[in-house]
Structure 1
């Protein structure tokens, strides 16, 4: 057993050695969190893949909030989603093709591509064994370790040619749903002592339906469940190069490392509660609010409790209303708008309309509470972000909480691969290497016998 006293003694030094006066960031013009003083992101690269729009910059340099837009290869995500919905088909496969290639597929190309993805979904024996050996662990960690394991069985793991990058990308996109479903079923069996069900993916259904089938069985979901999950995967597939996990993939890719190491790094980033784990935070908060608020329609009661949350008096005492606010979006998050549309339809099917009404009222009152809060450091306009409704939607579909964040990874792997391909195909490639300013003073060395 490790010496607990020594660990404590060393950890106590962190109080002083990690302390940095926040005023020094402004003094040395350091862009903390890679954010400018007006909360916009620091430009560190160029991309053709995704665009996240929440404001426009006026001639005088000020920012004007506008309804949010998310563009995939220049195409509005609203058009991609509503086209698939109007034609009563799933659209995630079309989005994968678009993000990886830069072009929309025609009908034959989409059909061939979709079948190729499904045929690539089944896991190799050695991958299954690796997952079984990791039973009972966090699924995001299993996903990362399984991705690293895939390096061993790749015939050309370090080849960064375009053909090989595309082959690896398609294989990863196809296998993520099966890895996550397999890992969950093993977890369900080992940790919850429930029956073990291993279902092989079907070759003639969408990725969304395959995932639901592998998690819940053929009778465990409806057509609407499939369409809503497909929508969730579309809107999570890409979010520009500046989000933390995609930037992590680009940073690691810029070194020339292999695909599996880079994607595993992205998974580690996404796992964080401030990134991909945020929908779980929202879910916990909503569950708490359902219990403590006696009348879900009483605006005064809701306002009073939200004010107490912001004042760090109740709930987790961090002063945050989870699911409200975004680094870029101001008036609206287009992903939240789309998900809210489907959440309403899904709530009707599941008999949970009262909860949906409560969610929409919470959204309205939380925005009001944050916007009108006295002594707020900033009066930036805020809106509900995608996490506000995603957990509620997953719960209505009947997905276990253990797969919420992995599901995000199952979608975002598309954007990660697209950005890795782009990073490795610039004409003038450079390793991404930011700088940190050291603020410590020189310290003279003291020999061991004089300390």
Structure 2
């Protein structure tokens, strides 16, 4: 069959096969209720189904009062330390915090000055990619989606590791520290390759500098002139800290536990976690927020008018605007209801950068939508808990102010969350639990086999 003939055959048959696959995959929603299936591993009231224990991160959003769930302002806790205290600690002392937060997540305690310095030496040395890796895996194989480049690059690291299959804690820790260190380099180089080969821009490759923090190195490697302000680097660093961990129940960290429980290697586990984070329901949400705001500015005459903005938000919920998904991106969270602590911290610092960049009006628009959206949602939807802005609401705006390309928004999340994934992988190995295998109930009717000659 010739290519043209096959294309015609393919187009026609795939449409038919798609219908068959869709029909055979459909399950009556009432059956999930009948068999009390916890869809998304969550109860109807939004409370997560308890499937494991962790000492790494805690997400706190409600209290139980007389057997009733009472929402409270959200709290995020790293190894027992409140995120507000952790952030205030390094910001008040004028330090970068991602390396310190990573140490805390991996080893359970805040490092002293000497311990932090020694840990930073590991990261500085491992930021350099293996010889020929840049050419073979990134420049010779540029990709349009950097998350996919990250995933295959992590898998390629397996070939450079003489002990890749060793799942002892010591070896896994070494593998994870290497990946924490080199992920920013891979991500930025992958963007430079994409920009050069697909957008025909100059290829800029800056070697990471050992004296710089993770956040500083990202800006140094990304920008042609390597220049950035202290506030810019500090805000990117804060974003890395806030995205580093979010308990064991978030999708990608749970994936890390699930895949680790099978006994496989570190590179396979982290590639799977990256695949999970890539999804727009998880790590890709801040891109949607930015796109939504661009659509808002194009379709609302006066963005300073509450009524006009509110009318647009109503159209979003009614699937009449933007991508017609019925969602106001960046508003609402699976756990938080009253507030997302990450959003509060990021907003506070974002306002400072907005003033430095002369973007006060845009910040004011974000603030307006953050205020109006929960009111609109409450009027239109029946919800079991309150809604508030989540971390994705402001992170995209922050990245925009930092002149980060849209293609790097989700990879920045992956760079940060690698710290949490590493801690969760080690925790799963140390506790040597069973392979994670939840139950699925088959609701298919029994049927007799039909021989070929009798099939219609």
The alignment's TM-score, normalised by the length of structure 1, stands at 0.97
Which of 223, 227, 244 is the equivalent residue of 2:230?
223
Structure 1 residue 379 displacement after superposition: 4.4
Q: Give the alignment of 1:11-410 within 5 angstroms.
A: 11-60=18-67, 62-128=68-134, 129-373=136-380, 376-410=381-415
- Where 1:372 maps in the other structure, the secondary structure is helix
Contact 1:282 1:388 in 2 (8 A): yes
Q: Which residue is equivalent to 1:444?
A: 448
- Where 1:194 maps in the other structure, the secondary structure is coil
Q: Deviations over 1:215-256 (max 9, x none)?
A: 114543211110000000000000000000111111000000
Structure 1 residue 126 displacement after superposition: 3.3
**Is 2:424 the partner of 1:430?**
no
Contact 2:130 2:160 in 1 (8 A): no
How has the CA–CA distance of structure 1 residues 312 and 137 changed in structure 2, closer, same or farther, with 3 Å as cutoff? closer
More divergent stretch after superposition (413-422 vs 293-302): 293-302
Distance 1:308 1:183 in 2: 37
- Where 2:62 maps in the other structure, the secondary structure is strand
Distance 1:315 1:171 in 2: 41
Structure 1 residue 305 displacement after superposition: 1.5
Contact 1:371 1:379 in 2 (8 A): no
Contact 1:371 1:380 in 2 (8 A): no
Q: Deviations over 1:320-353 (max 9, x none)?
A: 1000000111110000000000110000000000
More divergent stretch after superposition (132-141 vs 250-259): 132-141
More divergent stretch after superposition (210-219 vs 339-348): 210-219
Distance 1:190 1:385 in 2: 35
Distance 2:113 2:126 in 1: 20
- Where 1:301 maps in the other structure, the secondary structure is helix
Q: Deviations over 1:70-97 (max 9, x none)?
A: 0000100111111111101100000010
Contact 1:237 1:413 in 2 (8 A): yes
**Is 2:421 the partner of 1:421?**
no
More divergent stretch after superposition (157-166 vs 417-426): 157-166
- Where 2:132 maps in the other structure, the secondary structure is helix
Structure 1 residue 429 displacement after superposition: 1.8
Distance 1:275 1:87 in 2: 32
Distance 1:181 1:313 in 2: 37
Distance 1:85 1:15 in 2: 52
Distance 2:260 2:448 in 1: 39
- Where 2:70 maps in the other structure, the secondary structure is strand
- Where 1:359 maps in the other structure, the secondary structure is helix
Which of 8, 14, 20 is the equivalent residue of 1:7?
14
Structure 1 residue 14 displacement after superposition: 2.1
Contact 1:271 1:277 in 2 (8 A): yes
- Where 2:76 maps in the other structure, the secondary structure is strand
Structure 1 residue 15 displacement after superposition: 3.0
Distance 1:247 1:125 in 2: 33
How has the CA–CA distance of structure 1 residues 383 and 199 changed in structure 2, closer, same or farther, with 3 Å as cutoff? same
Contact 2:332 2:388 in 1 (8 A): yes
The alignment's TM-score, normalised by the length of structure 2, stands at 0.96
Query: Any unmatched runs of 5+ in structure 2?
Result: none
Q: Deviations over 1:25-56 (max 9, x none)?
A: 11001101111121111110000100001111
Contact 2:71 2:385 in 1 (8 A): no
Distance 1:340 1:19 in 2: 42
Contact 2:45 2:384 in 1 (8 A): no
Q: Deviations over 1:72-128 (max 9, x none)?
A: 001001111111111011000000100011111001111121122111101112321
- Where 2:198 maps in the other structure, the secondary structure is helix
Structure 1 residue 7 displacement after superposition: 2.2
More divergent stretch after superposition (303-312 vs 173-182): 303-312
